[in-house]
Amino acid sequence: MNKDDLQYLFLFYISIVAGYIDRKIEKRKHKQVYGATVGVIFAYVLCGQEIVYPLLNILVNTSIIINGEKKKCHLQSFIFTFSFLYISRIYSLSSFTNILLMSTTLRMVGVACEVNSDYLKDTEEEVKTQQPKKLDKITFSDIALYGMNYIGLLGAPYYTYSVFEDYLNLPFRRYHDWKNLCFYKLICSTAIMSLYVIVENLWPLSYVATEEFHSTKTILYRIWYVYPTAYSFIFRVWNAFVLFDCCCCMTGLGVYPRFTKPKCGYGPTVRIDEMISLKNEDDLKKQIYSFSTIKNVNIMMFHTTLGFGEAIKQWNTTIQYWLYTFIYKKVHIEFLKKPATMFVSSYWHGLHFGYFASLFFSTVILFVDKRWQLLLDGKKSFNIQLLMQMAKFHLLYNCTISFLLKERDIILQYQKSTYYNSMIIFIFFSVLLIIVKRRKV
C-alpha cells in the first residue's frame, strides 16, 4: 500500500473512534455540530487548502436549496454541482479532494431532490388535506451540517437527508447490538486487507503499463491478468465498505427495526407510524434491527448471481440507489434512461477515458444480458449457467481494468495486446442471441 492508502485507512479507523464518541452525544444540535466538525478536520487532513472546494460545493448548494424555488431547486443544484465538478477537475485536484467532491455532490443533489419531491407531494396533498409539509422547516445549518458530516464523507455509504434526520431524532441507535457487529466487521476488514496486500504486491496494476508485460508475457497471461487486478480493486473497495459499515454501526446511522423492511439508501418502507410510536424501552430492546439502509455490497450475491446486470446490482448499492432515484427515474425518455445514468456515473467518477469506456461498455453489455436472461429464464442447464458465469466475470473484470487504467493509450495498448478478446466474446454472445431468437420464432 502507498502512503495515500495508509492515510485513508487510518482515517477510516479514526472515524470508528469518532463514532464511539458520537454515541455518547444525545442532543440533536450537538450531534450535528460534532459530526460536521469531525468532517471538516478529516477534509483538512486529506485535502489541506483544497478543502475550499467541497466547502464551496456545500455552501452554494445550500443557498440554492434554501433561497431558490423549491419547484426548481433540484435542477439548479444538479447544474451547478456538475458544472463545479468539471471546473474543479481542470485544476488537477488531489484524489482525496476528488473523493470529497464526489461525496458532497451526492448529498447536495440528493437533498435538493428530496426537498423538491417533498414540496411537490405536499403541494398536492395540501389541496386535499391541508397537511403541513415535512421539510418546510429545514434550515441552512441543517443542510450544511449534513453535507459535511464525517459519516460516509470519505466515499460511502450515501444516505438521504431523511435517514440523517432519523439518526438524529430516533432512539434505535441506543438499542441495537453494535459491539458484536463492529467486532465482526473489524475481523472481516483485517482478513480482506490481508488479501488485498498479497494480491496487490504479487500482481500490481502498474505492471500492465510496462514494456516487460507486453513483450515477455504470453497472451494467455495477459488475458488472465485482469482477474488478480480486478480482485485487488474488489478487496480494496470491499474493505472500505466494511469499515464504512462499522462506522455506521457504531453511531447507529441507518439502523431501523427489521419489520420496517428498510431499503438500501432510502430507509424504512412499511409500518413507519408503528416505528415512530416505539417509545417504551422494553419494546425497543426486543426489536430485531437491520442495517440494510447503509449496506453497500452483497459479496456472496455478487459472485453467485447469474447475469451481468444482477451482479452489478450487488455492488456499491447506496450509490446505485442515488443514480436510480435521482437520475434514472428523472429521465422520462425510456431508451435514454440507462445511457444517461451511466454517463452521469462516469462523469461523477472523473474525466477519464477509462471511466467512460468501461461504463459505456457496461451499458451495452447490460442491454444484451437482459435479453439473454429473458430468453433463458427457467431453462438454464448447468452447462449454460457455467458458460454465463464465465462470460459475466470475464466481461465484468475487463470493464474493471479499463476503469482502473483510466488513460486511453494504456487501455488500448492492453486491449490490443489481448486481441480485444472481451469485445470478441461480447460480439459472439450478441450474434448467438440473434440466432437463437430467430430459431425460436
- Establish if 162 belongs to a structural domain: no
Residue 156 to residue 179: CA distance in whole angstroms: 21
- Establish if 49 belongs to a structural domain: yes
pLDDT given at position 134: 60
Residues 278 and 329 in one domain: no
Q: Which domain holds residue 127?
A: 3-157
Where does residue 102 fall: left (phi above 0), alpha (psi -120 to 50 degrees), or beta otherwise? alpha
Q: At what angle do helices 317-326 and 95-129 cross, to 10 degrees?
A: 50
CA 387 to chain centre: 29
Residues 121 and 175 in one domain: no
Cβ neighbours, 10 Å, residue 66 = 17
Residues 8 and 147 in one domain: yes
Residues 252 and 348 in one domain: no
Q: Is 142 buried (19+), middle (13-18) or exposed (0-12) by CB count in 10 A?
A: buried
Predicted TM-score (pTM) of the model is 0.89
pLDDT given at position 113: 94
pLDDT given at position 303: 86
Residues 311 and 326 in one domain: yes
Three-state secondary structure of the chain: CCHHHHHHHHHHHHHHHHHHHHHHCCCHHHHHHHHHHHHHHHHHHHHHHHHHHHHHHHHHHHHHHHHCCCCCHHHHHHHHHHHHHHHHHHCCCCHHHHHHHHHHHHHHHHHHHHHHHHHHHHHHHHHHHCCCCCCCCCCHHHHHHHHCCCCCCCCCCCCCHHHHHHHHHCCHHHCCCHHHHHHHHHHHHHHHHHHHHHHHHHCCHHHHHCHHHHHHCCHHHHHHCHHHHHHHHHHHHHHHHHHHHHHHHHHCCCCEEHHHCCECCCECCCCHHHHHCCCCHHHHHHCCEECHHHCCECHHHHHHCCCHHHHHHCECHHHHHHHHHHCHHHCCCHHHHHHHHHHHHHHHHCCCHHHHHHHHHHHHHHHHHHHHHHHHCCCCCHHHHHHHHHHHHHHHHHHHHHHHHCCHHHHHHHHHHCCCHHHHHHHHHHHHHHHHHHHHC
pLDDT given at position 190: 94
On whether the CB atoms of residues 267 and 256 are closer than 8 A, the answer is: yes
Q: Tell me how many domains the chain contains.
A: 3
pLDDT given at position 342: 86
Report residue 256: phi and psi, to 5°.
Answer: -140, 155
pLDDT tens, position by position, for the chain (441 residues)? 677 788 888 999 999 999 999 999 989 999 999 999 999 999 999 999 999 999 999 999 999 999 988 889 999 999 999 999 999 888 878 888 999 999 999 999 999 999 998 888 765 544 343 334 467 789 999 999 999 999 999 877 899 999 999 999 999 988 888 889 999 999 999 999 999 999 999 999 999 999 999 999 999 999 999 999 999 999 999 999 999 999 999 999 999 999 999 999 889 999 998 998 888 888 898 899 999 999 899 898 888 887 788 888 889 999 999 999 999 998 988 888 888 998 899 899 888 899 999 988 988 898 888 888 888 776 667 777 788 888 889 999 999 999 999 999 999 999 999 999 999 999 999 998 898 888 775
pLDDT given at position 367: 87
Residues 127 and 61 in one domain: yes
pLDDT given at position 378: 61
pLDDT given at position 335: 84
Q: Is 173 buried (19+), middle (13-18) or exposed (0-12) by CB count in 10 A?
A: buried
pLDDT given at position 387: 84
Residues 266 and 283 in one domain: yes
- Establish if 164 belongs to a structural domain: no
Q: Is 343 buried (19+), middle (13-18) or exposed (0-12) by CB count in 10 A?
A: middle
Residue 437 to residue 281: CA distance in whole angstroms: 60
- Establish if 111 belongs to a structural domain: yes
pLDDT given at position 400: 93
Half-sphere exposure for 147 (CA within 13 Å, toward CB): 28
End of a domain among 157, 187, 204? 157
Residues 274 and 243 in one domain: yes
Residues 207 and 279 in one domain: yes
Residue written as grid cell 510496462: 210
Half-sphere exposure for 385 (CA within 13 Å, toward CB): 10
Residues 218 and 95 in one domain: no
Residues 180 and 143 in one domain: no
Q: Which residues pair with 297 in a beta bridge?
A: 315
Residues 205 and 235 in one domain: yes
Q: Which three cell numbers stand for residue 53?
A: 472546494
